Structure 1
């Protein structure tokens, strides 16, 4: 039986730019940066505070060549924060494209885009 979500694969065009975005703008940490010596590189990132699930950044072009049948679209990710207004302001100040904070039945939420125009959402969970 599945007990938790371990890793989420995120396929990006530029892994170095993706690492910069997630670490410098969103505040994630690099958990590992592996290379098999044959061009395959995967970078595991996660929020800095005790995350159970991490994101692995893969080279979209290389994966597409190796497994053309694989769906490489961006997963729809919803992040949790206890400090929604502070995070929204912080991302805005770092020139990240952010949407307005809106009230949903499940709580206040906003979306943001990475450097490749992939959109993610954040909801306030206290």
Structure 2
């Protein structure tokens, strides 16, 4: 059996501001932005840069899904109930951490070295919490 998680839906307030944040501040690639007239919505897919074949799930991407009801709007920025929601793995923690600081990304927890790698918690444009993590070599999710 060969399976992977293809997309994770992330509820956003506005497609264009979310695309701007993920592509300009996090350097994600815009994979697709297609209007779906039958549902009056867009199919917007973004993915981290260099989403290589050697990673565990090389095609994992975010589906930026604009909230379409008051209930969905209530989850914008708090999709994981205040816990870290996403984990952005990197091959160079300090390069990306410093780049994110220069782009005014807000870090909620400062960098910390752990047995599994170097990690810090940041907020996306809506307040969802993310780990920026460089896993130690040999870790199953290490990009090195």
- Match of 1:100, SS state, is strand
Q: Give TM-score, length-normalised by structure 1.
A: 0.84
Q: What residue ranges of structure 2 are gaps of 5+ in the alignment?
A: 52-57, 136-143
CA distance in 2, matches of 1:18, 1:2: 31
Q: How does 1:1-126 map to 2 (within 5 A)?
A: 3-37=3-37, 38-50=39-51, 51-60=58-67, 62=68, 64=69, 72=75, 73-74=78-79, 76-98=85-107, 99-125=109-135, 126=144
How many residues are paired up?
121
Structure whose residues are more often helix by fraction: 1
Q: Give TM-score, length-normalised by structure 2.
A: 0.75
CA distance in 1, matches of 2:44, 2:79: 16
**CA-to-partner distance for each residue in 1:35-75, whole Å, 9 max, x for gaps?**
11242112100012134201010011x1x36xx69x95525
Q: What residue ranges of structure 1 are gaps of 5+ in the alignment?
A: none
CA distance in 2, matches of 1:10, 1:42: 12
CA RMSD, Structure 1 to Structure 2 (Å): 2.2
CA distance in 1, matches of 2:14, 2:7: 19
CA distance in 2, matches of 1:2, 1:54: 18
